[in-house]
Amino acid sequence: MLRLRSSDAGFAKAFARLVKDRRESDDNVARDVQTIIENVRLRGDEALAEYTEKFDQHLPADDQWRIAPEVCREAYDALAPDLRAALELAAQRIRAYHQAQLPEDRDYTDDAGVRLGAKWRAVDGAGLYVPGGRAAYPSSLLMNAIPARVAGVERLVVVTPAPKGVVNPLVLAAAHLAGVDEVWRIGGAQAIAALAHGTARIKPVDVITGPGNAWVAEAKRQLYGVVGIDMVAGPSEILVIADGQNDPQWIAADLLSQAEHDPAAQAILITDDAAFADQVADMVGVEIAMLPTARVAKASWDAHGTIIVVDSLDEAPALANALAAEHVEIATADPESLFAQIRHAGSVFLGRMTPEAIGDYVAGPNHVLPTGRRARFSSGLSVLDFMKRTSFISVSEASLGALGPAAIALADAEGLTAHARSIELRLGI
């Protein structure tokens, strides 16, 4: 665990190293993924079978690649009542939040008499990646599928790895609840390639979303342009800004809520209380010892955990903006004053009673968020990731007469004679 103090002489250089620490895929991953994508593009289902047998240690029968809708329904029906109620609550809140994101079409006529506007339409098909290796995440399925449905996507396709042939029944239950159309027992970069290029079994989609490991993220990056993607997501991140009035055990648990995801995950605390920093560091050790995920959480904390002690929390927003973290908690008496200065964050959690974990499940906003400082220029998953905007123009004879000469002048200046002529002919010039 790294310990920094903002007043130390070497802080700026040490903090700059922290900001630049990408913790993401290397050149070897990129090369491996390129090979996988090309094999799937050229050999389709045959390549999928080879990779599934190699990485998931099973080879489905011809009729077992796709999981039947009735199997998903049975998994949903078999849920314990309290768990079913929890999934339904999460789905209801996610749906309500994302329905409010739907954009409005525009259609108006300006002062020159030109009719202008734009129409929003959903993509035809979306592919949703749901991890199934280290852990299974029904919450991620809901966070991806529900915004797609709200956007109006007609075909929802889930791909999820099935180690030794087993798919977590919670994922299947969530697929039923979200109204997913197809669920396939494939994962990894090969699944992303199949969604993008299609195979004899799997029709291609238009957009691919959802979190995954380094190979999944790299496959999405390489295939962007063949399909749309939500983002290239890296390991999880949490930044907690906390004063000394917090319970150190709470803050330690918050930090570990992301550390337990992945050995490459990063948890950072910024506080203005050195004694409190010591207490949190001690409590992290206590909490790790009690976690079933202790091995992963400890590896993450030991390699990437960081505590920064500042003279005043007034320093925190500038540090937070430089880090542009996926999740930012502001656990102070007056979180709004700091929040007003946060410009770069995937999602912000305000107040001592708002742990990041509540956002992962039932708050409503999407938990698929930018990592690796990408919050500087991108946002969390929304209905807009499953939609595209088509502008339209309607020009009358009168308005063409008013605007046409300027367009002709610009076309001539660019040396595009045919552009100019297409207007001149209509104006009788």
Tell me the per-residue pLDDT of 272-300, one tens digit each, with 9 for 90 and over. 999 999 999 999 999 999 999 999 999 99
The verdict on whether 98 is a catalytic residue reads no
The verdict on whether 327 is a catalytic residue reads yes
Architecture of domain 27-229: 3-Layer(aba) Sandwich (3.40)
Residue 27 scores a pLDDT above 80: no
Residue with tokens 């903006």: 321
Residue 134 scores a pLDDT above 60: no
Structure tokens at 65: 């690649």
**Alpha carbons 354 and 16: distance in angstroms, whole number:** 29
**What is the average pLDDT score of the chain?**
96
Q: Longest Cα pair distance anywhere in the chain, in angstroms?
A: 83
Q: How far separated are the first and last CA of the chain, in Å rounded?
A: 75
Q: Topology of 2-24+234-363 in CATH? A: Rossmann fold (3.40.50)
Would you state the torsion angle of the CA atoms of residues 253, 256, 260, 264, taken in this order, to the nearest 10 degrees?
170
Whole-model pTM over 0.85: yes
Please give the sequence-ordered ranges of beta strands (E in DSSP) within 86-142, or none if there are none.
Answer: 106-109, 115-122, 125-129
What pLDDT band is residue 213 in, cutting at 50, 70 and 90? Answer: confident
Question: Alpha helices, DSSP H only, in 236-323?
Answer: 248-259, 274-290, 294-304, 316-323
What pLDDT band is residue 302 in, cutting at 50, 70 and 90? Answer: very high
Candidate list 182, 218, 287, 326, residue with the active-site label:
326
Q: Strand, coil or helix: what is 165? A: helix
Neighbours of 423 (CB within 10 A): 18
Residue 183 scores a pLDDT above 80: yes
The reported pLDDT for the residue numbered 135 is 67
Structure tokens at 217: 């993220």
2-24+234-363 and 27-229 share one fold: yes
- For the ranges 135-139, 337-341, 382-386, the lowest mean pLDDT is seen at 135-139
The reported pLDDT for the residue numbered 133 is 60
Domain ranges of the chain: 2-24+234-363, 27-229, 395-427
Q: Using one digit for the tens of pLDDT, what is the confidence trace for 389-418?
A: 999 999 999 999 999 999 999 999 999 999
The reported pLDDT for the residue numbered 21 is 87
What mean pLDDT do residues 216-224 have? 96
Q: Using one digit for the tens of pLDDT, what is the confidence trace for 84-97?
A: 999 999 999 999 99
Candidate list 327, 329, 344, 367, residue with the active-site label:
327
Residue with tokens 């079933």: 292
Q: Provide the percentage of residues in the chain whose pLDDT is more than 90.
A: 93
Q: Strand, coil or helix: what is 368? A: coil
* Cα-only R_g, the chain: 25
Contact 368, 144 (CB under 8 A): yes
Contact 267, 322 (CB under 8 A): no
Q: Strand, coil or helix: what is 219? A: helix
